[in-house]
Structure 1
Amino acid sequence: MIQAFGLTSNPRKELPPAVDDVSFEARAGRVTALLGASGAGKTTVLRLMLELQRGRGLTHFRGRPLHRIAHPSREVGVLLGDVPGHPARTVRGHLRMLCAAAGVPVRRADEVLEAAGLAHLRDERLGTLSRGMDRRLGLACALVPDPHTLVFDDPACALSVPDARQLRDALRAHAAQGGTVLFSTSDPKEAARSADHVVTLERGRVVADQEAAEFSRTRLRPRVAVRSPHAARLAALVAKEARTARRSVEVVREGGNRLAVYGSTCADVGETAFRHGILVHQLADEVGDMGPGTGATPAVLHQGPREASDERAQGAGTSSASSTPSTPSTSSTSSTPSTPPAGSPAPHAGTAQPHPDTRPLGGPRRAPSTEGGHDGPAAGTALHRTPGPRHAPIPARHPRGAESAVPDAGPCRTPRPFGVLPPGPATRGRAAVTLPPPISVRSAPSPLRPLRYELRRATGVGTGFVVGALVLVVSAATAVVLARIGHTPQPRLLAAWPRELPLPPAALGAGLLGALAFGDEFRHPALAADRGTVPRRMGLLTAKLLVSAAVALLLAALTVGCDAEVLRLFYGPEVSEVPADWPALGAGWLGLVVGCAWSGVLAAGIFRSTTAGLAAVVAVPVVVVPLVQKVWEGPSVRTAAGLPLRVREVLLTQWPFGGERYVVEVLTLVAQPVGGAMTLSLTALLCAYLLMTLRSRAR
């Protein structure tokens, strides 16, 4: 259950706030629509609810605000806009990465793929998906942690009719399992067709909070859609017969050969066309919008006595209840209808009274629900869910007027028992909508979870492999050129490090890979849907530092080995000889490459940019090292001469395998200007990262 209290956005300069004192409820087991025209504040309301935007007010998800929930993704599944993912990542790889982030078994990716109908696209790249497939993937991403609540922003926008229908059925299936569904839309017919409850916004305020039946009666209006090559003649004949019978009928020309007849039925219009020999291409019951924004002009309007109007309007409402709002009752094809003019007369209160066993707006018959007497999911959709052990008790359903004695508790969903509903006439033959099975056992918090996520993130795209291959090629070519020119020391020759460059290619490549570790998170924020930005957590930072260090070590070793083999191939074994003091040189080389990688990770995490991370890597030898070296060589600074001897004096005992020697070499590297500059830079970046982490948690 969602409870929003007084949501108000911050004012923009001299403009009023986009959302002002919005309060409503979205109950569990039901689909709630947030309806409003473009600019009404729907997206702002959702962002305020999810704490993605600053403002006033409070939103409770089953009694707790989002920042008080330990694992928000397990409570709320979010889709705002397109799926936030790297366009080069595969569909299955993206879902497996999200499984690792949520701490659920990796097989969950295949389950949600099957449920969303994307099993045949598991190896497709995200950048190649169509709009409909992208929305299906968004639903699959939201369902990965098995959340209790789904929050979507205009999910059916720009979708085809089959894709919109399947998405609508999936949302209803989730609500039927006891979950809460909230979505925004600007189409009144979509809201009435898909939701059980409609909250209408206008200029950032709630102007109506209605059940779907009440919304349909007051906002929507049944009509007969007619398409004929003799539309003008048919309109005149229908109006003439209405005047003769003293019935209230309104005929609206919608452009071309299309008519909209209000206050009549398909039978009456069809009989009129048949008697006068008029060819009809389409004859269907539809629902028109009573709201503003219509551009249609009435062709003929006739008002009869009030009694006749009520009688004919009730007949029209009954006939429209036999088919879906956008589905014609005949075999003809129906296009999206236009709406009647804003100034057209509204029907009487009894115009669209639904039949007790039919859905308002002519939707398919739905199975009754016992929670407050509200409508349940569409009976025409076969919904299946694999049974399994649940992780929380199942709350009881209560009759109308009774308050639930079992409070909602915990971020895990507590769905109710669910069976297969028989197909209805409106959706018989349609493919069944399946939901992934519930997650019976959730993994406990583990330090390996962010590490698994980071490994899948790093290996899911080919950027790291391309950068590594490019570094090896450039490094080998540079080593060959330096050996040809001469005057380059052997250690620098093996590292392909000219004196004119501040860093070798391997160190720059390691820094770029480290910067991408956080930079891609902000460019394609797969983790930020329910948090607003990439979470600065120590577990995630530790995983990125470990993976970047491992990649940097591998890249450093491959670079030296590749350079040595290329030099041996071109110039013989004497050029590729290993120096005598290789342990100290090797430790310094590995420390330089790992330090560059860590600088890229920390800087990109602080400045939220890959470019900033790489700039910080280059700034260490270009800016920091000269400053440290200038201070180090000043007359008032004591030197660290004799440091190895003093370390040996401190380490009185001998370490196994000569461990004290490696400690001495590390300290010697730190005491050098380059090592000191790198250590200083890493310390400053780490402190800045920790400070920003504490600030974000304090909010």
Structure 2
Amino acid sequence: MLQAIGLTSAPHRDRPPEVDDLTFEARPGLITALLGAPGSGKTMALRLMLELEPGRGVTYFRGRPLHRVAHPAREVGTLLGDVPGHPARTVRGQLRLMCAVAGVPVTRAEEMLHVVGLDGLGDQRLGTLSLGMDRRLGLAAALLGDPHTLVLDEPAEGLSPRDNSWLYGLLRGHADHGGTVLCTFADPKEAARVADRVVTVDGGRLVADQDAVAFARTRLRPRVAVASPHAVRLGTLVSREARAARRSVEVVTEDGCHLSVYGTTCAEVGETAFRHGVLVHRLTEEFGDTNPPLPPRMAVPPGPPREVTTGPAATAPLPAPDMPEGHGAPTNPPAPPRSSLPLITPTRPRTPLRPLRYELRRLLGVRTTYLLGAAVLVGSVVLAVLLGRGGRTPLPHLAAAWPGLLPLPPAAFGAGVLGALAFGEEYRYPALAADRGTVPRRLGLLLAKLAVSAAAALLLAALTVVLDGQALRLVYGSDLARIPPDWPSLAASWAGLAVGCAWAGLLAAGIFRATTAGLAAVLAVPVLVVPLVQKALSSPHARSVAGLPGRLREVAWLRWPHELDGWLTAALRLLARPQGAALALSLTVLLCAYVFTGLRGRARW
């Protein structure tokens, strides 16, 4: 069961709240419609229930608020608008990505493709999906965790009648199996046809809470809409003839030229107009909401809840659906005073329950990764062959395809681009949050991104050296492809450069929420930081750290093997180089900034 109590959104700029003291419930086994015209506050109500917007009130999902549910995807399935995701990702890849977020087996993706009728479209790109297929994919993502409650915002908007029938059949099946379904509607006739219970809101306030039969009987009365320059006279004639024939007909004058006639047909009204020579411009049958409009709303300070006017069909409490008329309790429990309701604090987006699997699928699920890797390898081979022709490039730079004109070799720059995309794509195509634009800054996701980007950078660096060596051997012979004697230190330097660039791009993109910021940080290391470090290291007052491993051994409590001194010395030599020191300094600054902005974001929440 879903229970929403006292939902009130935070007002903006001295305007009244979009949702004002809204209380209702959605029962299991039923489809509940949240009905309202565009701008009535129904979408904001859903966002308050899901704790995506600040406000006041509380929503219980089977007795627990959402922030106290251990695995929200297994309790609540949501669909708010279109499906967020990279347009180049496939349907199957998107669902597998969301499986890692929800912490469910990857086989669940194939099951959901079958449930929503997308079996043959698993390899289609998200950017090519029609509206109907996009909604099917959104429902599949909502159902991945097998949730008890479905919260859907206008799920049938813009769909064809065939897709509508399929959608409502799926929702009816979920409700028949004991689930709770809450959907928003803008069309009263559609809500009455589909839902078991209709909750009507207007201006963010509750108007009526009725079962579908009562809603259709009292608020969707058929009427004849008449437009005539003699509307008042025609209304008098229709009422007179109805009284003479002892028929129950109600005539409502909308304005000087329009009538709404209830309890009759177009034929009867037209015959009356013809007999008396009344000119008619328009005559049609309609269904309309006959509930009286609410008075203009004014900003209300926090205090006890007002008494809500619910119209003629909702002046008395409705009995529970499973109880006979006259013997039930009120459907909605009385709301507590507004001042005692808890504040709704927007929850931080949830980290994937399987972050490493999520990050691997994010990286390998789009063509950008493969195209970038291929471009880097081809460019490196071409540069290595051109540099080898001149015969003046040192062997380490030749193997890395690093001409002196470039601040970074192609492989290091490509690693930086992959690192920048790790967070840049999360902010551009967010898949971790329903509110589109926030990415969780938690340790598990950060470690997964660091590990995967480092592995991708090392693989790219290794492939670059191997392919460059083979190309040089093929074109110029084995003289330029020999292995230098100090290859361990060169390999460590090359690996450190690639991984450092990847991490610099990743952290900078996470701080500034943009891929371009990550690329700027990668290029800033050789262009700006390295000259500053060179100037500092070349100072005549700089001291040497020679003998540091031995001094550390003297002051340390634990005794490590002497072989470790050699590794420590090699690491210090790497850091003593301008490139190594610049990378270490840049990564330290970026990591501190990332932690600081993450802590500040938590304090703001």
Q: Is the TM value for this pair above 0.5? A: yes
Query: Once the two structures are superposed, what CA deviation does each residue of 1:107-158 show, in whole Å capped at 9, x if it has no partner?
Result: 1111111111111222211111111111111111000011122111111111
Query: What does residue 47 of structure 1 align with?
Result: 47
Distance (Å, rounded) in 1 between the aligned partners of 2:82 and 2:130: 11
Query: Once the two structures are superposed, what CA deviation does each residue of 1:31-81 show, in whole Å capped at 9, x if it has no partner?
Result: 222222112222222222222223333333233332232322222211111
* Aligned partner letter, 2:451: L
Query: What does residue 476 of structure 2 align with?
Result: 571
Q: Does 1:612 align with 2:517?
A: yes
Superposed displacement of residue 685, structure 1 = 2.4
Query: What does residue 233 of structure 1 align with?
Result: none
2:464 maps to which of 533, 553, 559: 559
Superposed displacement of residue 249, structure 1 = 6.2
Q: Does 1:479 align with 2:381?
A: no
Superposed displacement of residue 671, structure 1 = 3.0
| 1:90–1:126 contact (8 Å) kept in structure 2 | yes
| 2:351–2:440 contact (8 Å) kept in structure 1 | no
| Aligned ranges 1:217-256 → 2 under 5 Å | 217-222=217-222, 245=245, 247=247
SS at match of 1:575: helix
| 1:32–1:199 contact (8 Å) kept in structure 2 | yes
CA-atom RMSD in angstroms: 4.0
Distance (Å, rounded) in 1 between the aligned partners of 2:353 and 2:11: 43
| 1:189–1:289 contact (8 Å) kept in structure 2 | no
Query: What does residue 409 of structure 2 align with?
Result: 504
Superposed displacement of residue 551, structure 1 = 0.9
Query: What does residue 378 of structure 1 align with?
Result: none
Query: Once the two structures are superposed, what CA deviation does each residue of 1:297-346 show, in whole Å capped at 9, x if it has no partner?
Result: xxxxxxxxxxxxxxxxxxxxxxxxxxxxxxxxxxxxxxxxxxxxxxxxxx
Superposed displacement of residue 267, structure 1 = 12
| Aligned ranges 1:480-629 → 2 under 5 Å | 480-529=385-434, 533-629=438-534
Structure 1 residues 619 and 7, CA gap change in structure 2 (3 angstroms)? farther
| Aligned ranges 1:79-228 → 2 under 5 Å | 79-222=79-222
Superposed displacement of residue 292, structure 1 = 9.6
Superposed displacement of residue 242, structure 1 = 7.1
Greater mean alpha carbon deviation, residues 477-486 or residues 542-551: 477-486
Superposed displacement of residue 583, structure 1 = 0.8
Query: What does residue 340 of structure 1 align with?
Result: none
| 2:22–2:205 contact (8 Å) kept in structure 1 | yes
Structure 1 residues 205 and 285, CA gap change in structure 2 (3 angstroms)? closer
| 2:51–2:66 contact (8 Å) kept in structure 1 | yes
Distance (Å, rounded) in 1 between the aligned partners of 2:524 and 2:58: 44
TM-score (norm 1): 0.68
Superposed displacement of residue 509, structure 1 = 0.5
SS at match of 2:221: strand
Distance (Å, rounded) in 2 between the aligned partners of 1:525 and 1:481: 42
Distance (Å, rounded) in 1 between the aligned partners of 2:23 and 2:530: 57
Q: Percent identity?
A: 64
SS at match of 1:24: strand
Superposed displacement of residue 290, structure 1 = 3.7
Query: What does residue 574 of structure 2 align with?
Result: 669
Of structures 1 and 2, the one with the larger relative CO (CA 8 A, separation 6+) is: 2
Distance (Å, rounded) in 1 between the aligned partners of 2:547 and 2:502: 31
Query: Once the two structures are superposed, what CA deviation does each residue of 1:585-620 show, in whole Å capped at 9, x if it has no partner?
Result: 110000110111112222222222222222222222
**Unpaired segments ≥5 residues, structure 2:** 226-237, 253-259, 273-283, 294-310, 314-319, 332-349
* Aligned partner letter, 1:79: L
TM-score (norm 2): 0.78
Distance (Å, rounded) in 1 between the aligned partners of 2:126 and 2:156: 19
Structure 1 residues 241 and 120, CA gap change in structure 2 (3 angstroms)? farther
Query: What does residue 678 of structure 1 align with?
Result: 583
* Aligned partner letter, 1:540: L
Structure 1 residues 216 and 402, CA gap change in structure 2 (3 angstroms)? closer
Greater mean alpha carbon deviation, residues 148-157 or residues 612-621: 612-621
| 1:91–1:123 contact (8 Å) kept in structure 2 | yes
Query: Once the two structures are superposed, what CA deviation does each residue of 1:490-548 show, in whole Å capped at 9, x if it has no partner?
Result: 11111111222221110111111111122222222222127972222211211111111
Q: Does 1:690 align with 2:605?
A: no
Distance (Å, rounded) in 2 between the aligned partners of 1:153 and 1:448: 26
* Aligned partner letter, 2:166: Q
What is the aligned residue count?
A: 535
* Aligned partner letter, 2:93: G
Query: Once the two structures are superposed, what CA deviation does each residue of 1:357-389 show, in whole Å capped at 9, x if it has no partner?
Result: xxxxxxxxxxxx974569xxxxxxxxxxxxxxx
Superposed displacement of residue 631, structure 1 = 3.1
| Aligned ranges 1:377-392 → 2 under 5 Å | none
**Unpaired segments ≥5 residues, structure 1:** 226-237, 253-259, 273-283, 294-347, 351-368, 375-398, 404-444
Superposed displacement of residue 694, structure 1 = 4.0
Query: What does residue 455 of structure 1 align with?
Result: 360
